[in-house]
Amino acid sequence: MKRTALYLFLCLLPGLVNSQEIQARVEILTNKISSQVDRRVFQTLQNGLTNFINSRKWTTDAFQSAERIQCSFLLTLSQDLGSNTYRGGITVQAARPAYNTSYVSPLLNFHDDNLVFKYVEFQPIEFNENRVQGSDPYVSNLTATIAYYINIILGLDYSSFGLRGGDVYFQKAWNIVNNAPDSKDITGWKSFDGLRNRYWLAENLNNNRYTLFHDALFAYYRTGVDVLFENEEAARNGILNALSYLNTVSTENLNSMIVSVFFQGKGNELFKIFSKGTGEQKARAKELLSKLDITNLSLYRTL
């Protein structure tokens, strides 16, 4: 696994200080919140979350500053529930650099509408992997959600460098689901909360029924995106191989969440890659993508 090999190599370098893994940008939109609420509270929260994400060590590996995973968290607050409690959604995006280029490829682009949390200005922003009984679930729900998506991002990133390399982080995300805060207004952590939520994303990533998805993830990046600079034709064939895996996953698991999540944010990338391909590559890509990524169907038809 590239991350492990990199870690061992860096440990041999003299004077290297372990760096955190995540470089995140956090933004909070509060346009729909009453003007009576002091906006400084949200700025304090934004600064606190940024520090929480970027300063915490999420793995045991060493990362150079340039290797930190670039991601963003956009919190859109839609309702003030009173007593310093808010309802809204969170959009999580992450990208991964392509080998030997300045290009970054989308890794995750997901919107989660199930966010309710409580925040009092200057309260500590902390996370405990094991839910503390008796703690306020509305306070812990925000950091549990953030930690969950950090582990999903880490899992995807590690798996894109080494086959099944991110399994430990997918399992951590699943553990967060199982220990998630519980209250009548807190949703997204249960199987019955919907078909596309935190429960099902983690379940799919840890379920052996979706083993071929992990093969597709690895093939897409290591035999596709990472090869584009050296050999575009080989890279397109590698991505076609990944799409074939995903087609099998989709056929055997109709309407599975994990396949649709994979394609979010990748439409333009895939179109640009295959628009320069051979007639055979274009035809095969068009056939697969028209079934797998219906959202961008009109784009793929132009291939």
The total number of structural domains in the chain stands at 2
Q: Which of 26-35, 104-113, 196-205 comes out lowest in average pLDDT?
A: 26-35
Residues 78 and 143 in one domain: yes
Per the listing, tokens 């509408």 go with: 113
Q: Looking at the structure, tell me whether residues 162 and 103 fall in a common domain.
A: yes
* pLDDT tens by residue, 215-241: 999 999 999 999 999 999 999 999 999
27 lies in some domain: yes
Does residue 7 fall inside a structural domain? Answer: no
Mean pLDDT calculated for residue range 21-41? 91
pLDDT at 12: 43
Which of 180, 206, 232 is at the close of a domain?
206
Query: What is the predicted pLDDT for the residue at 197?
Result: 97
Burial label for 211, CB within 10 Å (0-12, 13-18, 19+), is exposed
pLDDT at 181 over 90: yes
CB contact at 8 A, 4 and 61: yes
Structural domain contains residue 11: no
- Distance CA(21)–CA(103), nearest Å, equals 19
Continuous segment of H or E residues that includes residue 110: strand 104-118
Contact partners, residue 47, CB within 8 Å, separation at least 6 = none
Assess if residue 121 is contained within a domain.
Answer: yes
Give the pLDDT of residue 18.
55
Convert the pLDDT of each residue in 139-154 to its tens digit: 999 999 999 999 999 9
194 pLDDT tier (thresholds 50, 70, 90) = very high
Say whether pLDDT at 26 is over 90. yes
Cα(258)–Cα(255) distance, rounded to whole angstroms?
9
For residue 111, what are the β-bridge partners?
91
Among candidate residues 206, 228, 256, the one where a domain is terminated: 206
Note the pTM of the prediction, 2 decimals: 0.93
Q: Which domain holds residue 28?
A: 18-206
Domain boundary at 206, 225, 247, which? 206
Answer whether residue 251 is part of any domain: yes
In a domain, 10, yes or no: no
Position 34 scores a pLDDT of 81
Give the tens place of pLDDT for each residue, 66-120: 889 999 999 999 999 999 999 999 999 999 999 989 999 999 999 999 999 999 9
**DSSP character string of 67-94:** GSEEEEEEEEEEEEEETTEEEEEEEEEE
Same domain, 172 and 249: no
Cβ density class 127-164: b for 16+ within 10 Å, e for less: beeebeeeeebbbbbbbbbbbbbbbbbbbbbbbbbeeb
- Mean pLDDT, range 54-64, rounded to an integer: 94
CA distance 65 to 17: 10
Q: Which long-range contacts (CB under 8 A, 24 or more apart) does 83-86 make?
A: 83/118, 84/118, 84/119, 84/120, 85/116, 85/117, 85/118, 85/138, 86/33, 86/116, 86/117, 86/118, 86/119
In a domain, 79, yes or no: yes
CA-CA distance, 262 to 269, in Å (whole number)? 13
DSSP 171-192: HHHHHHHHT----TT--SSSGG
Residues 22 and 95 in one domain: yes
Report the C-alpha gap between 47 and 234 in whole angstroms. Answer: 44
Whether residue 195 is found in the same domain as residue 71: yes
Closest CA to 220 of 198, 248, 239: 239
CA distance 26 to 51: 10
